[in-house]
A and B are shown apart, each in its own frame.
Chain A
Amino acid sequence: MIDVENLSKSFGATRAVDGISFQVQPGEIYGLLGPNGAGKTTTISCITGLLKPSAGRAVVDGVDVGSDPIRARRSLGVVPQETAIYDTLSARENLSYFASLHGISGEEKRRRVDEALDRVGLASNAKQASKKFSGGMKRRLNLAIGLVSRPKALLLDEPTVGIDPQARIHILDVVREVQKEGTAVLYTTHYLEEAETLCDRVGIMDHGRILAEGTISELRARVGEGTVLTLKGRFNPEQIQDAIRAESDARIVSLEENLAMVATSGEAAGASELLSRLLRADLDVAEIAMKEPSLENLFIKLTGRELRD
């Protein structure tokens, strides 16, 4: 349904998107997981035709966005990163307007608007001017506008940023619902947990590239069975290097003054062995964290840094 082929987009010297390819099938949620500046929004803008790719192309429902953007957009619902709503208009008026831009009118429009309001739980606030909405309600209206045309392909750009956990759960539930109806969903986020719990497949993105792609379990397998140990304290990198030199399957993920991340690729026993070795090395350690294999570890492994900065 959504086909991105060798897509690149440069802004001057900045390669915001650097030759990425992926596909999203109907009824699938594809997550683009990446930190700030990874190129997620730029990718979405190329799919909507708001930006013209420097190379490659995006195809939506068989229509090349570059050659016939208006036709491609008929199948697209978009939820932008910013809450792009008219705050002097009510929720209903907002939805009704964007529905008419999709050529929906009359009784059908009323039904679609009601449906979208219901979905996001704003039915009882439908007549209220949206400037009086809370942040979470605005986010939900932002989502509803993307849904009101019942798109075949839905693009969601960090739709849960800055809202409380309850509202987030609500939004994720709505996304799962539309997925069940057969919509192809492209979901960008920098929340690992969202990608892990929501997405069928995830592309890990940084500096405009997709570094790894696959289902959650495929990606987990790529991290290996190992565990990541994070140490904070007062030590210098050489001490860490000395301590783990003898440990054959220990690997340094990142190493800075007073902060070290070390991974084992072996079984759990390997991790405790590594830990005791490190403790014996007479380091001044204030904090130790052990993490099971997760996307975060994979992310660290791929990019050498944590997702949230």
Chain B
Amino acid sequence: MRFGGALLAVLRKDLLRKLRAPLAAVVMILFPVVFSLLIGLVFGGGDLTPIRIALVDDDGGIVGRLIRSSFSQEMIPLRFDVQQVDSLSAIRKIESNEVSAVIRIPPEFTDSLLAGETVALEVIKNPAESIKPQIVEHFASVLARLGSSGMHLLGDPIAEIRATATGDAPPSDAFISDLSVGINRRMEGIGRYAFPPAIELEKPEVEDEAQGESMGAFDVAAFVLPGMAVFALLMLALVSMTDVQREDAHRTLARQMIAPVPAGAVVLGKVGATAVVSLLSILILGIIAAIWIPGRISWLGFLLHSIALALCATGFAALIQSLSRSEKTGSAIGSILVMVMAMVGGSWVPVNMLPEFVRKIAPFTLTYWGGEGYRDLLMESAGVADLVPHVAILLVLGVLFSGTAILRFQRRYAGGG
């Protein structure tokens, strides 16, 4: 029988079997979603540490009071702790990590707003924190939108900081650059992520607008989901590839090896089945994410990156199993490797928040390239061209790993021993 025919038969059989026992794939799809949701609840949820904000009210008008009362609304599932301070102590608080963000209402804000002029509400995020400041920013942006339809948030950030700082001791350059990092992500730039609990605030009158131009919001999920998805995918591939050893123990592998087909077709079919399951799972997860996290991403980029990642995850899993004598050692060694890669490669904590030395070794992990690709797609509006390095690295490794694994499996199981 020809190689192709045998390959298809094996692939069909294994996909059918995986369909009959879909637990691993379902867990793979659900785990990142549930986990990201949990993280979202933890950061947004009531009982945990409230998000501390320093409010600098240089305006002294009604807007300040409005903001304070808005941030303490019962209906908001987030807890904020708003302290009103002057601008200098606000900066000190952000420096000493006491607050996640500073909201500053500039002088004459109320008057200008009422006069229908363009006004800007400033949000200075603590650069040492990642998620909470962005929640504040998102929240403030919702408020701002409620307040005025014509205004734009955050003018030239550096200029604004200089304005904030004038009057008192000139701030150091380092401080300015820190702050500019913090506010550099302007509302327009971050865009696209809706933080579900905050949606409550988006009254119908703002909704159209909010969706029209990319919404100045941040989603915890967008931060957590890509890494979790990559981690879960690797685990799924690992579980799926144990099937070779399980078939060996069950003697069905030997039974296929003594059929009149090339051993390579059987092994390739089994590796291929894992690749297909991995790819389908990540695509389904992508569709769920697309529904959950609104926004435009490059679907072609997503597809290409997913194919490369699924192949690489499969190759990695196959290689691990082909190097280990038993299903158990393979799973154990594989899981440990995946966990280490997840930790170092930014699946759990985004790479830019990891210590310097970890950041240096991160690019040597699969999880890094997998996760960064999805993050770039989601958060940086990356297109196909931007993903070329990610896709290329994953594809090359995928082919290398799978090829080696297939040869090893063939040598071990094809007989003639």
Contacting residues, chain B, for A49 (C-beta < 8 A)? 258, 415-416
Contacting residues, chain B, for A89 (C-beta < 8 A)? 13, 16-17, 20
Contacting residues, chain A, for B21 (C-beta < 8 A)? 88
Once A52-B415, A69-B415 are accepted as A-B contacts, the answer to whether A84 and B252 lie under 8 Å apart by CB is yes
Complexed CA–CA distance, A50 and B256 (Å): 10
CB distance A100 to B252 under 8 Å? no
Once A51-B417, A101-B261 are accepted as A-B contacts, the answer to whether A84 and B255 lie under 8 Å apart by CB is yes
Minimal Cβ-Cβ distance residue in B for A52: B416
Once A80-B251, A85-B252, A89-B16 are accepted as A-B contacts, the answer to whether A74 and B260 lie under 8 Å apart by CB is yes
Contacting residues, chain B, for A141 (C-beta < 8 A)? none
Minimal Cβ-Cβ distance residue in A for B259: A101
* A295 interfacial contact with B, CB 8 Å: no
Once A51-B415, A52-B417, A88-B21 are accepted as A-B contacts, the answer to whether A80 and B255 lie under 8 Å apart by CB is yes
Once A51-B417, A52-B417, A69-B415 are accepted as A-B contacts, the answer to whether A103 and B260 lie under 8 Å apart by CB is yes
Once A71-B260, A98-B259, A103-B1 are accepted as A-B contacts, the answer to whether A84 and B254 lie under 8 Å apart by CB is yes
Greatest chain B CB density within 10 A among A73, A98, A100 is at A100
Complexed CA–CA distance, A145 and B256 (Å): 11
Once A49-B415, A51-B415, A89-B16 are accepted as A-B contacts, the answer to whether A103 and B5 lie under 8 Å apart by CB is yes
CB distance B260 to A101 under 8 Å? yes
Contact among A51, A71, A85, A102 with B259 in the assembled complex (CB-CB below 8 Å): A102
Near A by CB (< 8 A), chain B positions 213-262 give: 250-252, 254-262
Contacting residues, chain A, for B252 (C-beta < 8 A)? 84-86
Greatest chain B CB density within 10 A among A51, A73, A103 is at A103
Contacting residues, chain A, for B342 (C-beta < 8 A)? none
Shortest CB–CB separation between residue A233 and chain B, in angstroms?
45
- Can you list 6 A-B contacts with CB-CB less than 8 angstroms, sorted by A residue number? A49-B416, A76-B258, A97-B9, A102-B260, A105-B5, A145-B255
Complexed CA–CA distance, A89 and B12 (Å): 12
Q: Per-position contact with B for A62-96: 1 when CB-CB < 8 Å, else 0?
A: 00000001110110101010101110110001000
7 further interface pairs, Cβ-Cβ under 8 Å (given A73-B258, A101-B259, A102-B259): A50-B257, A52-B415, A71-B260, A85-B252, A86-B17, A88-B17, A145-B255
CB distance A84 to B250 under 8 Å? yes
* B6 interfacial contact with A, CB 8 Å: yes
Shortest CB–CB separation between residue B75 and chain A, in angstroms?
49
Greatest chain A CB density within 10 A among B5, B6, B250, B252 is at B252
Contacting residues, chain A, for B256 (C-beta < 8 A)? 101
Complexed CA–CA distance, A129 and B19 (Å): 13
Shortest CB–CB separation between residue A41 and chain B, in angstroms?
11
Q: Per-position contact with B for A100-130: 1 when CB-CB < 8 Å, else 0?
A: 1111010000000000000000000000010
Complexed CA–CA distance, A100 and B261 (Å): 10
Shortest CB–CB separation between residue B80 and chain A, in angstroms?
52
Complexed CA–CA distance, A45 and B20 (Å): 31
Minimal Cβ-Cβ distance residue in B for A11: B417
Complexed CA–CA distance, A78 and B258 (Å): 8
CB distance A100 to B9 under 8 Å? yes
CB distance B16 to A70 under 8 Å? no
Contacting residues, chain B, for A80 (C-beta < 8 A)? 251, 254-255
Interface size on A, as a range, is 20 to 34
Contacting residues, chain A, for B1 (C-beta < 8 A)? 101-103
CB distance A50 to B259 under 8 Å? no
Near B by CB (< 8 A), chain A positions 34-57 give: 45, 48-52
Complexed CA–CA distance, A211 and B250 (Å): 32
Contact among A51, A73, A76, A97 with B13 in the assembled complex (CB-CB below 8 Å): A97
Complexed CA–CA distance, A100 and B13 (Å): 10
Complexed CA–CA distance, A105 and B6 (Å): 11
CB distance B9 to A101 under 8 Å? yes
Contacting residues, chain B, for A50 (C-beta < 8 A)? 254, 257-258, 415-416
Complexed CA–CA distance, A8 and B251 (Å): 23
Minimal Cβ-Cβ distance residue in B for A78: B258
Complexed CA–CA distance, A71 and B261 (Å): 9
Contact among B255, B415, B416 with A78 in the assembled complex (CB-CB below 8 Å): B255
Complexed CA–CA distance, A89 and B20 (Å): 8
Minimal Cβ-Cβ distance residue in B for A72: B260
Q: Per-position contact with A for B385-406: 1 when CB-CB < 8 Å, else 0?
A: 0000000000000000000000
Near B by CB (< 8 A), chain A positions 136-168 give: 145
Contacting residues, chain A, for B251 (C-beta < 8 A)? 80, 82, 84
CB distance B261 to A70 under 8 Å? yes
Near B by CB (< 8 A), chain A positions 208-261 give: none
Complexed CA–CA distance, A93 and B261 (Å): 19
Complexed CA–CA distance, A145 and B258 (Å): 13
Near A by CB (< 8 A), chain B positions 40-78 give: none
Complexed CA–CA distance, A157 and B416 (Å): 19
Contacting residues, chain B, for A93 (C-beta < 8 A)? 13, 16
Complexed CA–CA distance, A86 and B262 (Å): 20
Once A70-B261, A70-B262, A103-B5 are accepted as A-B contacts, the answer to whether A98 and B416 lie under 8 Å apart by CB is no
CB distance A100 to B260 under 8 Å? no
Complexed CA–CA distance, A105 and B20 (Å): 23
CB distance A98 to B255 under 8 Å? yes
Minimal Cβ-Cβ distance residue in A for B17: A88
Minimal Cβ-Cβ distance residue in A for B261: A101
Contacting residues, chain B, for A145 (C-beta < 8 A)? 255
Contacting residues, chain B, for A97 (C-beta < 8 A)? 9, 12-13
Minimal Cβ-Cβ distance residue in A for B254: A50
Complexed CA–CA distance, A260 and B135 (Å): 91
Shortest CB–CB separation between residue B245 and chain A, in angstroms?
15
Shortest CB–CB separation between residue B291 and chain A, in angstroms?
31
Shortest CB–CB separation between residue B316 and chain A, in angstroms?
26
10 closest residue pairs by CB, A with B: A101-B259, A103-B1, A84-B251, A73-B260, A50-B415, A88-B20, A48-B258, A100-B9, A52-B416, A82-B251
Minimal Cβ-Cβ distance residue in A for B266: A101
